Structure 1
């Protein structure tokens, strides 16, 4: 099957460059181009491409507005091109929330070690998102513009039990503490009136890639403020993006969300996002664990951050008291780390194929027999809260 592509950018040079790269793969055919967002909307309707590549800053209509209109009128997988700046990150996250499937830096070499790898990365992304026909039917995500300003993390009184105990006594009940703000959600509301802590776990770990920003937002915005475990998250994302992404989530969620820093002590009700371009490791022991953020210039590890490395370190620090979740993403990062966790007695879940943008990472753990449950993205938060111990 040949993947048909519409290339959208206000630079004629960049349109030619993208077209040449894509058509050097016999599986891809560029069927049209547009130099602004309005033309993109019109051509998306008339040409019905399998994939659209889209710039953000363009005349007449910008890429974000174009994505929103296309996903409303002629849904199609859209790959955004972004600058690696804080402003570029914010705009890209807005585009993903509007319905775009994935993004790449406009300088392809920023995600590859050489030109050949950069070319293959672009081609692989286009082919991967084209293989997801359900994107053509999904509505765009709820928009949140402007992005709420980031909040600083401050100590708060909490009714959380910090003595989690061992597996032999698995439940202790505490009342739900009041939440000071409402967290927006695109899924059905989850009942969280009382919390019965499941002592089988002491940390929630999530790994994801393509499609992950939207998936993480959908899950985290449904978690209550008194979520009883720390959350460790690895999202394949450039260094310039993770700070902006964590700030966005922190403004939307009842739990606290922050970009992880070296030496952070893991606290219940706080989600720690691995910084882009580095590795995040967990050291110590359950109840007294901390994060270590390390530079990685070895060239041996493809992903920075790597789900495998973070999950492997969790297996040493927490043993089997980990609930690990692998969400949508290309490749197989997370499979070996999840295997190490499972060998210690941890529980591993995977997002189901139907709700993934790319069923690569979840398929890797499912087909290897590592995950014990496949869960739809729409049901993931509810399933997590039930596993944790929330109920009516």
Structure 2
């Protein structure tokens, strides 16, 4: 079995040794080198040609973001960021995903050694997903020029759009939301993210989009022109009814498909509560979360899509949906916004 070859870049000797211990404990992974800073890493990458790079956010001699930007321009490769959970680092991590990083893991605040060792399977999964990813095709920096927006002509305000995503999803979601007009149908999103990072993601999206983007709150009314993102790592997000209105319900229950929030929970609730008034799409991600929920939506009368393989960073979740017949169609990322609007009982054209 050919092992996935990894280089770990971190200024902490403890973190480097723990990452080696964690990664090498998995039979399909191996650390071929470690580096205390990007300048050393640059030479090691040339020497070892790794499959995946893990990269600390804050380091001496060269900032992790500066190095990532140069790396993705000159030698694109799968990168997993390693970030401490601070407000600044969450902002930087979201920017790193825009620049081309495939995913990220967080360092625990306390008990670094025990905390990281508890993350062993998660770190391994993220490295495997990164090794299977296509960062050259899908990961591009945000353009300084705004994308053209769709015009939404609608016959009802009842329609809802549901989106699920995981690995590679932050950039895919951005590309889906940016063309959406201010009078878009309400949009509910579950993206696999740990606690503390969705707020930065929401702020970034809200600054780029005509729709208003929120970190979802329990009891919040669901309105057209607004986007609701499930808070990372805290609770599942469900769609519910309160009289004539749709509302957000946050449920602090056990993980589903190893995730909280889970896409399946959101999609199943939409199937039960709104049925044919929904449109669902499953974007890039590793695993199968969301496929069964999307099937439930389709069986309830919803129009359903999956992102196509060519534009997915990791095709796991969309592939699973297509395999079980949950998605009506596989759609390239650049066409999903228009498809969602058209399927919400409306039509759209760009301006």
* TM more than 0.5: yes
Equivalent in 146, 159, 175 of residue 184 of structure 1: 146
State the Cα distance separating 1:47 from its structure 2 match. 3.0
1:305 aligns with 2:261: yes
Q: How does 1:91-102 map to 2 (within 5 A)?
A: 91-102=92-103
Secondary structure of 1:350's match?
strand
Q: Tell me whether 1:226 sits opposite 2:183 in the alignment.
A: yes
- The answer to whether structure 1 residue 246 and structure 2 residue 202 are counterparts is yes
* 1-structure distance, mates of 2:90, 2:143: 16
Normalising by structure 2, report the TM-score: 0.90
Q: Could you tell me which residue of structure 2 aligns to residue 120 of structure 1?
A: 121
* Structure of greater Rg: 1
Question: Aligned in 2, Cα 1:19/1:84: closer, same or farther, shift over 3 Å?
Answer: same
8 Å CA contact 1:108–1:119 kept in 2: the answer is no
Offset of 1:142 from its aligned partner?
Answer: 2.4
Deviation at 1:199, TM superposition (A): 5.1
Per the normalisation by structure 1, the TM-score is 0.81
Per the TM alignment, residue 371 of structure 1 is displaced from its structure 2 partner at its CA by 0.3
Deviations 1:265-289 (A, max 9, x none): 1110100001122111111179611
* 1:64 paired to 2:61: no
Show structure 1 runs of 5+ residues with no match: 145-182
Structure 2 vs 1, CA of residues 138 and 202 (structure 1 numbering), >3 Å: closer, same or farther? closer
Q: Is 1:389 aligned to 2:351, yes or no?
A: no
In structure 2, relative to structure 1, the CA distance for the partners of 1:248 and 1:23 (3 Å cut) is same
Deviation of 1:390 after TM superposition, in Å, equals 0.9
Q: Name the structure 2 match of 1:283.
A: 240
Tell which deviates more after alignment, 349-358 or 117-126.
117-126
Matches for 1:76-91 after TM superposition, within 5 Å: 76-91=77-92
In structure 2, C-alpha distance between the alignment counterparts of 1:48 and 1:54, rounded to whole Å = 15
Which 5+ residue runs of structure 2 have no aligned equivalent?
A: none
Do the aligned partners of 1:286 and 1:317 also contact (CA within 8 Å) in 2? no
Task: Show the counterpart of 1:147.
Answer: none
Q: Provide closer, same or farther for how the CA distance between residues 286 and 331 of structure 1 changes in structure 2, counting only shifts above 3 A.
A: farther
Q: 1:259 aligns with which of 202, 205, 215?
A: 215
From 319, 327, 332, the equivalent of 1:376 is: 332
1:331-385 deviation digits (Å, cap 9, x = unpaired): 1111221122111111110011121121111111111011011111122223334
RMSD: 2.5
Maintained 8 Å contact 1:109/1:115 = no
Deviation at 1:116, TM superposition (A): 7.1
Match of 1:2 in 2: 3
Cα distance in 1 between the residues matched to 2:70 and 2:264 = 38
Q: Pick closer, same or farther for the CA change 1:137–1:98 going to 2, 3 Å.
A: same
| Cα separation, partners in 2 of 1:308 and 1:109, compared to 1, 3 Å | farther
* Among candidates 310, 314, 329, match of residue 354 of structure 1: 310
CA-CA distance at 1:48 after TM superposition = 2.2
Paired residue for 1:317? 273
Aligned residue for 2:189, secondary structure, equals strand
Q: Is 1:203 paired with 2:204?
A: no
Counterparts of 1:143 and 1:58, CA distance in 2: 27
Structure 2 CA distance for partners of 1:244 and 1:137, relative to 1, 3 Å? closer
Change in Cα spacing, 1:317 to 1:204, as seen in structure 2 (3 Å) is same
Matched residue SS, 1:33: strand
**Can you list the C-alpha shifts for 1:239-277, whole angstroms capped at 9, x where unaligned?**
201111111111111111011111111110100001122
Cα deviation, residue 202, structure 1: 0.5
Aligned to 2:17: 16
Tell me how far 1:115 sits from its aligned partner: 7.4
Aligned partner of 1:166 in structure 2 is none
Matched residue count: 344
Q: Give, in whole Å, the separation in 2 of the partners of 1:370 and 1:76.
A: 32
- 2:191 and 2:95 mapped to 1: Cα distance? 17
Query: Is contact 1:54-1:79 (8 Å) kept?
Result: yes
Distance of 1:374 and 1:198 partners within structure 2: 26
